[in-house]
Chains A and B, each alone.
Chain A
């Protein structure tokens, strides 16, 4: 039995422990920047390390970190798992936990720059090798109005039309001649959905900002636009014939042809599931969707083809890149740019990188990974030749896409893209869920919403 004295002591100990625990918690809440320079070494934290659920990609990344550190003894890389999570971005920045080099989608740089959440790398980037071989429109995505540079693109895609070759065959369509116009898409969708058994001819997104994103793709494909510059202001530019035409196609395919299925409010994962399970004929997508379909649904590369964007008047350019923490020191900025260039923008490592994919039995020859199409001129030629040399997927399935994208106009996403896409989601939803949707009214209402978003663009 414990005495009252010992009980008092144990209570005091408990109090002290509680107070100590609190103090530790508070200390842990403080600035987590422990990447100080030590012994002349610069330590940088970087995002982009693939999760352990992707063992191949993870092993390539980790091997690259080791190789980079060996080649750059003055730089220490501290890789962090994951890519861009808008839900935690601001919290990490506020808590001093944002990595020195962080991943972004093409939709985000404009807002990040406007909020001063990225470091100005204009001067430091001048010494980055091959920077002039990168497509200028991709670099522009990381510039502010005065031309200052805040990030580097590392991956780029252009939208096309992904289709199921077996369903084309079953529906009596030529799987080697994918549709080139929206009328042809409509006809093919009708034939595919006529197969019955819940097969859907064409599907499109309309949820979580992805509807707006794809509607932008539709408009670009018809030579239209989402926003245009009017003097020094941005204004909505889709409440016109082209906007109406795009929505009319969607409406007619959904309600007149019944080729888009009854279930709407879809997003990428829903549509990929439909395509992966052999229930969908076509959807608008970039080539990076193909490995997802093959890996997640035990599919075959031979079963999927990608056509260039129907309509042929333009396509949406998207992608990803890296930006640098605004609180990073000049040494860290320099080290960060060295890492980005060495890892992602390095023509000298093209062949080695492709070889890693070949050895790992990963797809080579798709117009996507392992060497994304951010290049122009001779570097692009060099990359295409290497990919053709090592190709292990049927390159002819993607030929229509490659041929078209090099010819048609590629436009990047509008400013404040996520907000605009949220506003346009409802237009997509209206035409896909309401047979009597008034397209003019929908466009006009979306125009006022988008104009209020664009009024905030600086």
Chain B
């Protein structure tokens, strides 16, 4: 069913003689009319878009801008904010925990990359090879992702319990000495990395699986015909074919793991001996324990800048590698 407007458009005289009988319409006027018509046609869409923009502006962009402003202000939420320049940053640099928090966060990110990057990839390769009960194994790997992060953390806290915890009980049953897991500054961070890897590897594995699924089977067949073993097939077919996904996930993982919070907050509170105080945990303390929102915002700005610089450097590096 056509609208009256579209029928009149269809009836628009197309000959040059008929055009001549009409008053002359300039190119500019025609463009304006077309624009008006397009605007009218898409009014509803623009309305909805505006609503979305307002929501984004209000709940996403405004807090970001306000956060940046807060980094340079001292606020008590009663009087007008005071502009303090770089005082909040100076205060952070004087805090002995500031350096510790960055060091711990980088350690967590490094360890999380070693485990969280390699384990899901190997799992995906294995799952890809499985011929039977594929759906079951995929679900089993994805299952931990469905648990709320706090539940995961509390569950693992019991696994790690140095008294009647699961790990120490199991070790004890086979006559091995138990570990201190979370209760030793030497092992606490590594213990948190295991939890994080276990909880998040399901999503990453699925993405790898999807990437592996796009590799044409002929490539493997050709490689096998050429006598390539498992490692050579991985190196010459799997890695190059999934390279893009690997690179994107690496970036995403660094950005995500640098913001680790739930595991140290729920499981160790930053201890023992500050060995699991992370940037976000310290930021949380500044905001909600010390009620110093200026310094907390300054800290989040520093993290934002650090991740922004890393992302830009990484994108540039990968582009260069692509070109070469």
Contact = CB atoms under 8 A, between A and B. Distances in A.
A and B: interacting chains: yes
Contact of B95 (A14, A15, A87, A452): A452
Nearest to A210: B269
A244 interface: no
A117 interface: yes
A126 interface: no
A433 B163 contact: no
A434 to B, nearest CB: 6
A449 B97 contact: yes
- Interface centre among A209, A264, A445, by most chain B C-beta atoms within 10 angstroms, is A264
B24 to A, nearest CB: 33
Nearest first, the 7 closest Cβ-Cβ pairs linking A and B are A15-B47, A433-B272, A115-B76, A429-B272, A207-B269, A429-B271, A262-B162
Contact of B3 (A4, A94, A208, A423): A4
Interface string A420-439: 00110110011011100100
Interface in B268-296: 268-274, 285, 288-291, 293
A423 B282 CA distance: 12
Contacts of A89: 291
Contact of B79 (A14, A116, A452, A456): A116
Nearest to A261: B163
Contacts of B79: 116
B289 A422 contact: yes
Interface stretch (B48-56, B194-202, B241-249): B48-56
Contact of A90 (B47, B77, B183): B77
A430 B271 CA distance: 9
Interface string A88-113: 01100110000000000000000100
A419 B164 CA distance: 33
Contact of B44 (A11, A86, A115, A449): A11
A116 B269 contact: no
B76 A117 contact: yes
A262 B183 contact: yes
A115 B271 contact: no
Contacts of B48: 14-15, 18
A433 B78 contact: no
Interface in B143-176: 161-164
A58 B152 CA distance: 34
Contacts of A94: 77
Contacts of B60: none
A209 B291 CA distance: 15
B318 interface: no
Contacts of A265: 182-183, 268-269, 271-272
Contacts of A378: none
A94 B58 CA distance: 16
A94 B73 CA distance: 15
A263 interface: yes
Given A4-B3, A90-B291, A263 B44 contact: no
Contacts of A93: 77-78
A8 interface: yes
A445 B96 contact: yes
Most A Cβ at <10 Å: residue of B180, B183, B285: B183
A434 B272 contact: yes
Contact of B76 (A116, A425, A434): A116
B289 A86 contact: yes
Interface of B: 1, 3, 44, 47-48, 51, 54-55, 58, 76-79, 91, 94-97, 161-164, 178, 180, 182-185, 268-274, 285, 288-291, 293
A434 B185 contact: yes
Given A12-B47, A93-B77, 17 more contacts: A8-B44, A15-B47, A18-B47, A22-B51, A22-B55, A90-B293, A94-B77, A111-B291, A262-B180, A264-B272, A267-B269, A418-B289, A426-B270, A429-B272, A430-B185, A433-B185, A434-B272
Contacts of B291: 86, 89-90, 111, 115
A430 B185 CA distance: 8
A327 interface: yes
A14 B1 CA distance: 24
A448 B94 CA distance: 10
B271 A425 contact: yes
B184 A425 contact: no
B289 A18 contact: no
Interface string A1-12: 000100010011
Interface string A244-276: 000000000000000001111101000000000
B273 A429 contact: yes
Contacts of B178: 262
A156 interface: no
Interface residues of A, number: 51
14 contacts: A18-B48, A89-B291, A93-B77, A111-B290, A206-B272, A207-B268, A262-B178, A416-B290, A426-B273, A429-B272, A433-B271, A437-B273, A445-B96, A449-B97
For B96, B184, B290, B291, the residue with the greatest tally of chain A CB atoms inside 10 Å of its CB is: B291
Contact of A433 (B94, B161, B273, B289): B273
A19 interface: yes
Contacts of A198: 163-164
Q: Which of A19, A327, A429, A449 has the most CB of B within 10 A?
A: A429
Contacts of A19: 47, 51
B297 to A, nearest CB: 12
A434 B51 contact: no
Contacts of B163: 198, 261-263
A326 interface: yes
A416 B273 CA distance: 21
A18 B97 contact: no
Contacts of B94: 452
A82 to B, nearest CB: 16
Contacts of A22: 51, 54-55
B161 A263 contact: yes
A94 B66 CA distance: 13
B87 to A, nearest CB: 11
A267 B94 CA distance: 28
B288 A86 contact: yes
B290 A426 contact: no
A416 B292 CA distance: 12
A374 to B, nearest CB: 26
A15 B46 CA distance: 10
A87 B54 CA distance: 27
A113 to B, nearest CB: 11
B272 A430 contact: yes
